[in-house]
Amino acid sequence: MTPDTSRTAMERPLRRDAERNRQRIITSAREVFRERGMDTTLDDVAHHAGLGVGTVYRRFPNKEHLVEAMFADRLEDIGRLMSESLDNPDPWQALQDFLWAAAALIAEDRGLHDVMLSTAFGHDKVAMARDKLIPLAHEMVCRAKRAGKLREDFEAEDMPMLFKMIGAAAEYTHRVAPQQWRRYAALLIDSLRAETGKPSPLPVSALDTVDVRDVMDHWCR
């Protein structure tokens, strides 16, 4: 075996190990960021992954690099979801389906919530993916208005606030009633209709007095 061949043989398993560690870090980071959002540190990720802090920092020098690796693809997935919704010939159903799908992603993933709704997190790939969502949102809103299904005073720029409200409800209740956000999402989405009529059935019952007390007791702990 020549020296070059020997060196290549030794490097290959190291590269495979490095890639396995990288994927292990990203998988663990997704789990931690989903629960804690952008308060997560690289030390938190290392602990959750069962790796040394130095291993994490060698792969990702700072949290920004990790955010780029985790969330650029997620935002592109949301863009594809919007494009697929626009293929629906029913403009109101398209908008409603997207709002529900995006609300579910945001309610169940605090990290995605933070990245999608704030430019403080993610640059380059994340920023580009986020910017691509804007014209798609405008198109969805304009189509629904032209069809007379969406109230005229709703704008595409209202979407981040809509998602923020749903995300806040999810964060407030998730320890006691993790699906409760669906009730408030239904109320919000129903309020966007241009036509008044019989309200849509709510998918989740209201919390009772004991549940509300439990939510208040567990919040911020």
List, for residues 93-137, the tens digit of each pLDDT value.
999 999 999 999 999 999 888 888 888 877 788 888 889 999 999
Q: Which two tokens stand for residue 151?
A: 């109230």
Ranges for all domains in the chain classified under CATH 1.10.10: 1-61
> Nearest-CA neighbor of 38 among 131, 107, 108, 109?
109
What is the pLDDT, as a whole number, of residue 4?
53
What is the pLDDT, as a whole number, of residue 221?
63
Single-letter amino acid, residue 44? D
Please list the ranges in the chain whose pLDDT falls under 50: 9-11, 14
Beta bridge partners of 193: 150
What is the pLDDT, as a whole number, of residue 127?
87
What is the pLDDT, as a whole number, of residue 152?
96
Ranges for all domains in the chain classified under CATH 1.10.357.10: 64-218
Q: Which two tokens stand for residue 82?
A: 């919007």
Q: What are 174-191's pLDDT values in tens digits?
A: 989 999 999 999 999 999
What is the pLDDT, as a whole number, of residue 101?
94
- CA separation, residue 159 to residues 54, 74, 105, 148, 154 (Å): 40, 18, 14, 19, 9
Burial 143-177 (b: 16+ CB within 10 A, else e): bbbeeebbeeebebeebeebbebbbebbbbbbebb
**Tokens 């804690």, residue located:** 36
**How far apart (Å, rounded) are the C-alpha atoms in residues 112 and 72?**
10
| Domain covering 64-218: architecture | Orthogonal Bundle (1.10)
What is the pLDDT, as a whole number, of residue 10?
45
- At the top level of CATH, the class of 1-61 is mainly alpha
What is the pLDDT, as a whole number, of residue 2?
54
